[in-house]
Structure 1
Amino acid sequence: MSSPITRIIEPRSRDLGGSFRVRRVLPFHAQRTVGPFVFFDHFGPVDYAPGEGFDVNPHPHIGLSTVTYLFDGAIRHQDSLGTDVVIRPGAMNWMTAGHGIVHSEHTPEELRTQGQSMHGLQTWVALPDGEEDCEPSFEHHAADSLPEFEISGARIRVLAGEAWGKASPVKFPSPILYVALETESVAELTLSSELAEERALYLVCGSANVAGEFTDAGVMLVLESGVDVAIKLSPGTKGVICGGAKLPGKKRIEWNLVSSSQEKIDQAKIDWTAAVQAGGNLRFPAVPGDENPWIPLPGN
């Protein structure tokens, strides 16, 4: 019997500046997407001493939703809609860029003073072609507002989409799957083919036996469509399942900009350069309360 694992993706290390390194999983040269997921970074655990912190100054996005999910630590999210919220472990923070949004991410001041450990996932999901130019929005769902339950020893939290009959409150315009798994002891469960057209399992820590194949943490296993897959998770394992409907066409990614159209990306680059020079414009307004310098277009 052939393996239901169609691809194993080894993350590549990336330095995003300020000694902040991530393990980049998607996009991968042979596997650009899994469902609508076009970008997948695993960061941390990283420790910040008192007085140090995580800082990403105001920058733009178009054509996608950004999703931050934390296992440890906290990040203050601010955006051009006026959103100012602290992202904490287990919560779902879903920013839809649509035709254009500006946001920043910083360590909250109280944690900058005392120091913190930070660990989490940053993912991007591409909007359907017809929704790329929608109005920007931000959803915050506290950890206790997301469906959480146990199956065969695994604690499961539905972050987006629907799984095992439970639906997340997150709204997304195409079929999507994003589920967090955690175990204290051995857990055995089946990933049904009905969960999503495309599925991938990423282990944050711990290990698993997937359809008879052993895997450690830190790799993404892309699973065959239309096949139920049995997994056995070792004690102390954390991971996520991500996926959804297969994208109908190619999505272009340049810097923080995602679109089905190169022309839209080129125009966004022009508009962002103008916004940086002017301190904001109609498409890319200022972020209220964040006076830090805006990040220029790479190469400018």
Structure 2
Amino acid sequence: MIERIIDKRGHDLGGGLIVGRVLPFHARRMVGPYIFFDHLGPAELPPGVPKDLDVRPHPHIGLATVTYLYDGAMTHRDSVGVTQEIRPGEVNWMISGSGITHSERFDHARAYGATMHGIQAWVALPTETEESAPSFHHHAGEDLPTWAEGGISGRLIAGAIDGMQSAVPVHSPQFYMHWQMEAGAHSAISDEYSERAVYCATGALEVDGRPLRAGQMAILSAGGRVPVRAEIPSTVMVVGGEPIGERFMLWNFVSSSKDRLLQAREDWIQGRMKLPDVDNGEFIPFPENRTVE
């Protein structure tokens, strides 16, 4: 039932902030519509942490970004006028559509110190909504169904599964869950979707009888419920959905069209993409030698 196991790879976002990149992977670019999956931290940020660690304003097209934290806090500012702090158990869901810019700042950690730990993912939009108007959505509390049973505390971050529906505005069939598992707890991943994956953020798991360690994602084959057991207390993300077709990437841009990516690159280089009004003093230049993937 496990097709492949992917290990996270260290990636510098700039300024020394290292994340563990899981998707895209050369042998598996997407799981359902999920085309990007980064594990942030855990990282101890002391009070007064330099602003070099912040993610300065940068652009996106053709996707929705998903920020979900286990610990810490992050401040989002974007070009549609939203400023929103995100805290553990909440969801920032930003639809880039035809184009948006945003920054992600560690204002809380700079003031008080914090352990930063979470996941950032990108969801590719279906062709018919790739050029939709950009928007931002923050969800918490009852918007995100939760449950607790058999040593597992769960939260549905986005999509629908097992009779539950998140309030996050998704655009294609998908699901995204957080499980907090006690040692010995076990469950099974539903077979509702043709593409599924399970990521061990902390701890150690047994997935369909095979070990899965912290920092590894197991890509599952279609069909059949897949058993998951926690060997020790573990933080687990389960994600999947239905494929939406081939997607290309160029830096922070995702599209079904290579020409559209090249246009977005030129728009950013020429300063045609609006920066956040309250965070427009700096930005991330387009990196050299980036090509369409």
Alignment TM-score > 0.5, same fold: yes
**1:219-258 equivalences in 2 (<5 Å):** 219-248=216-245, 250-258=246-254
Question: Structure 1: how far apart are the matches of 2:73 and 2:142?
Answer: 16
Q: 1:294 is matched with which residue? A: 283
Which letter does structure 2 place at the counterpart of 1:184? E
Which letter does structure 2 place at the counterpart of 1:72? D
Q: Is the 8 A contact 1:64 1:96 kept in 2?
A: yes
Q: Secondary structure at the match of 1:18?
A: coil
Which letter does structure 2 place at the counterpart of 1:87? I
Q: 2:205 is matched with which residue? A: 208
Which letter does structure 2 place at the counterpart of 1:271? D
**1:101-180 equivalences in 2 (<5 Å):** 101-108=100-107, 110-180=108-178
Q: Does 1:188 align with 2:203?
A: no
Which letter does structure 2 place at the counterpart of 1:99? S
Question: Structure 2: how far apart are the matches of 1:255 and 1:75?
Answer: 22
Q: 1:10 is matched with which residue? A: 7
In the TM superposition, residue 227 of structure 1 has moved relative to its aligned partner by 1.8
Question: Structure 2: how far apart are the matches of 1:177 and 1:199?
Answer: 9
Which letter does structure 1 place at the counterpart of 2:73? A
Which letter does structure 2 place at the counterpart of 1:274? Q
Q: 2:267 is matched with which residue? A: 271
Question: Structure 1: how far apart are the matches of 2:212 and 2:139?
Answer: 32
Q: Does 1:48 align with 2:45?
A: yes
What is the TM-score with the length of structure 1 in the denominator?
A: 0.92
Q: Name structure 2 gaps, 5 residues minimum.
A: none
Which letter does structure 1 place at the counterpart of 2:161? A
Q: Is the 8 A contact 2:37 2:119 kept in 1?
A: yes
What is the TM-score with the length of structure 2 in the denominator?
A: 0.94
Which letter does structure 1 place at the counterpart of 2:286? L
Q: Is the 8 A contact 1:45 1:119 kept in 2?
A: yes
Q: Is the 8 A contact 2:190 2:225 kept in 1?
A: yes
Question: Structure 1: how far apart are the matches of 2:93 and 2:191?
Answer: 26
Q: 1:278 is matched with which residue? A: none
Task: Label 1:215 to 1:111 Cα distance change in 2 as closer, same or farther (>3 A).
Answer: closer
Q: Is the 8 A contact 1:89 1:143 kept in 2?
A: no
Question: Structure 2: how far apart are the matches of 1:243 and 1:216?
Answer: 20
In the TM superposition, residue 94 of structure 1 has moved relative to its aligned partner by 0.3
Q: Secondary structure at the match of 2:67?
A: strand
Task: Label 1:72 to 1:144 Cα distance change in 2 as closer, same or farther (>3 A).
Answer: farther
Q: Secondary structure at the match of 1:237?
A: strand
Count residues with an aligned counterpart. 287
Q: Is the 8 A contact 1:183 1:234 kept in 2?
A: no
In the TM superposition, residue 17 of structure 1 has moved relative to its aligned partner by 2.1
In the TM superposition, residue 144 of structure 1 has moved relative to its aligned partner by 4.8
Q: Is the 8 A contact 1:128 1:173 kept in 2?
A: yes
Deviations along 1:169-226, one digit per CA (max 9) or x if unpaired, are 01111101100000234211111211x2200000101111112112221100001111
Q: Is the 8 A contact 2:13 2:55 kept in 1?
A: no
Q: Is the 8 A contact 1:78 1:287 kept in 2?
A: yes
Q: Secondary structure at the match of 2:49?
A: coil
Q: Name structure 1 gaps, 5 residues minimum.
A: 276-280
Identical pairs, percent = 44
Question: Structure 1: how far apart are the matches of 2:35 and 2:153?
Answer: 26
In the TM superposition, residue 143 of structure 1 has moved relative to its aligned partner by 4.1
Q: Secondary structure at the match of 2:266?
A: helix
Deviations along 1:136-171, one digit per CA (max 9) or x if unpaired, are 011100245310002332111000111221110011
Q: CA RMSD in A?
A: 1.4
